Amino acid sequence: MAQLPPGIHFITLFTRDQRYRAFIFVLTFLLYASFHLSRKPISIVKGELHKHCAASTEVELHSYKEYATQSQPVKKLPNESQCGWEPFDKNNYKQLLGALDYSFLCAYAIGMYLSGIIGERLPIRYYLTAGMLASGLFTAMFGFGYFYNVHNLWFYLVAQIANGLVQTTGWPSVVTCIGNWFGKGRRGFIMGIWNSHTSVGNILGSLIAAYWVSSCWGLSFVVPGVIIALMGIICFLFLIEHPKDINCSCTPPSSSRTYMNGTNRFRVQKPNLNTKETSQSQSPEMQQLLSDNENCATSLNINMPVSEENRNGTSPISFLGALRIPGVIEFSLCLLFAKLVSYTFLFWLPLYITNVEHLDAKRAGDLSTLFDVGGIFGGILAGIISDRLEKRASTCGMMLFLAAPTLYMFSAVSKMGLEATIVMLLISGALVNGPYALITTAVSADLGTHKSLKGNARALSTVTAIIDGTGSVGAALGPLLAGLISPSGWNNVFYMLMVADACALLFLVRLIQKELGCRMDHTLFKEH
């Protein structure tokens, strides 16, 4: 008998259920990375839509006007002006570019509240596929403006609004799907790795857009649009919404050991000699991810196994019902300000680097990816810390507390040279994106499977949409405020971001106090 190839031998080390989980993990990672990949081009192309020629000195302006007068009849292209792409070539370009960001993000915020409710009532695979195909169309539509020589602002605004609406199909769908497949054990760490799709998508989007930005910026949108549409087809062909859909044959756990993870850390469970009661007390949150004894017929944090009848028959939770879950309002408002900071960097960082470091649009776009590299490590670090401490709010609060002074340092140090900018981009990316990543993944999953839901597995999509939708309000406000404030100086933009971080921390104070109080009670209990 021939020896198995090493790769095949490695695959056989895992069970069928473990292989399916790994596949869903990778697939949903790539699916949502393509969403962020398609959102990034606008921030890269801003430096090309307005080439900042108005920032020259009076002498340079005078020389430029003389040169333009002589060379314009020969050199001027039919589809662009000397200062960029009309209508973004005027002195009010920052307000116009801010309007593009605001139109996308405002539509995204409004649509997100509806998306979770709709998503719970439709098959995830169809819903997500339709959203990705539509996202590809409207992303490419912005780039068509270059090829068809469109200079009407409303064309670009409509493309942004439509794209913002259809992109809301992504987040509630992938979080619900990954939630169906994975238990709560080490959720912060696993979802910290999984949530790096945000930064990976931003990095790939930046590199793809930067490749064509100087030569043909229309392709900076068309290529990402084609990529997300192709990923939509892959979603339709391969996405499995729930383990029950493929007759997951895992058996319920037989061990009576209690793992004190997450919100249940301080619950004291006395030994129970009754086998029936012991088996019922076990829940998927007590099991490690990818373990053979995990009950695949259940979803995240549900105390009783969920039958097929229960999964399909349970009524979706209402919007107000989701708001009544403890912690949803606090984390939603915290995310509003945390996402305000993150998305201001997402949409304005390349232009800031262009102005401060005097780099062209391509080099500025490449350099801005370091912020997302830092975000990858920040998300994973936040997950590890929150798992170890088993305190989600305290972990977010600690990173937010450190982020505010770091932003002040970034605004000062970035003017000292390229090397200092690189270091501060990595540190700022980790501290800014860490809380954002933790809240949108592990915290949302915790709250979407809260014990007050009594096993209603269909609430996760609505809870996720409420939290991310509220955060998207901040995501819409951040770039808009940056566009309005930046003409008075970039320092004022950073002051605004520091205030936003402080507000995010403020909304977590009550939850942090509650976590610390539980810790003290647990310590006193052990001493007695």
Tell me the per-residue pLDDT of 29-87, one tens digit each, with 9 for 90 and over: 999 999 999 998 988 888 788 775 544 434 343 443 444 444 444 444 444 556 778 88
The whole-angstrom separation of Cα 434 and Cα 442 is 12
Q: For 344, how many CA atoms within 13 A lie in the half-sphere containing its CB?
A: 28
Residue 456 near residue 317 (C-beta atoms within 8 A): yes
In this predicted model, what pLDDT tens digit does every residue of 450-498 receive, in sequence order?
A: 565 555 555 677 788 888 888 888 888 888 888 788 888 888 989 999 9
Q: Please give the biggest Cα pair distance in the chain.
A: 94
Please state the rounded mean pLDDT for residues 360-370.
80
Site of tokens 């340092």? 409
Q: What is the pLDDT of residue 185?
A: 57
The whole-angstrom separation of Cα 437 and Cα 435 is 5
**DSSP type of residue 67:** H
Instruction: Answer whether residue 90 shows pLDDT above 60.
Output: yes
Under the banding of pLDDT at 50, 70 and 90, the label for residue 281 is very low
Count Cβ atoms below 10 Å from residue 31 Cβ, excluding itself: 25
Residue 185 near residue 287 (C-beta atoms within 8 A): yes
Under the banding of pLDDT at 50, 70 and 90, the label for residue 519 is low
Q: What is the pLDDT of residue 71?
A: 43
Q: Which of 92-96, 171-175, 198-202, 248-252 has the lowest mean pLDDT?
A: 248-252
Residue 455 Rama label (left phi>0; alpha psi -120 to 50; beta)? left
Please state the rounded mean pLDDT for residues 162-169.
94
Under the banding of pLDDT at 50, 70 and 90, the label for residue 321 is confident
In this predicted model, what pLDDT tens digit does every residue of 383-442 receive, in sequence order?
A: 888 888 888 889 999 999 999 899 888 888 877 777 888 888 899 989 998 898 888 887
Please state the rounded mean pLDDT for residues 159-175.
92
Instruction: Considering only residues 26 and 365, tell me which one the structure prediction assigns the higher pLDDT.
Output: 26
Does residue 417 sit in helix, strand or coil?
coil
183, two tokens: 């238990």
Q: What is the pLDDT of residue 195?
A: 83
pTM of the model: 0.71
Residues in the chain: 528
Residue 42 Rama label (left phi>0; alpha psi -120 to 50; beta)? alpha
In this predicted model, what pLDDT tens digit does every residue of 381-395 receive, in sequence order?
A: 988 888 888 888 899
Site of tokens 């064309």? 155
Q: What is the pLDDT of residue 76?
A: 44
Under the banding of pLDDT at 50, 70 and 90, the label for residue 210 is confident
29, two tokens: 């990672």
Q: What is the pLDDT of residue 191?
A: 80
Instruction: Answer whether residue 505 shows pLDDT above 90.
Output: yes
Q: Virtual CA dihedral for 197, 199, 202, 208, nearest 10 degrees?
A: -80
CATH superfamily of 8-49+87-244+317-518: MFS general substrate transporter like domains (1.20.1250.20)
Q: What is the mean pLDDT of the chain?
A: 77
Which range scores top for mean pLDDT: 70-79, 233-242, 273-282, 365-374? 233-242
Q: What is the pLDDT of residue 134?
A: 97
Does residue 456 sit in helix, strand or coil?
coil
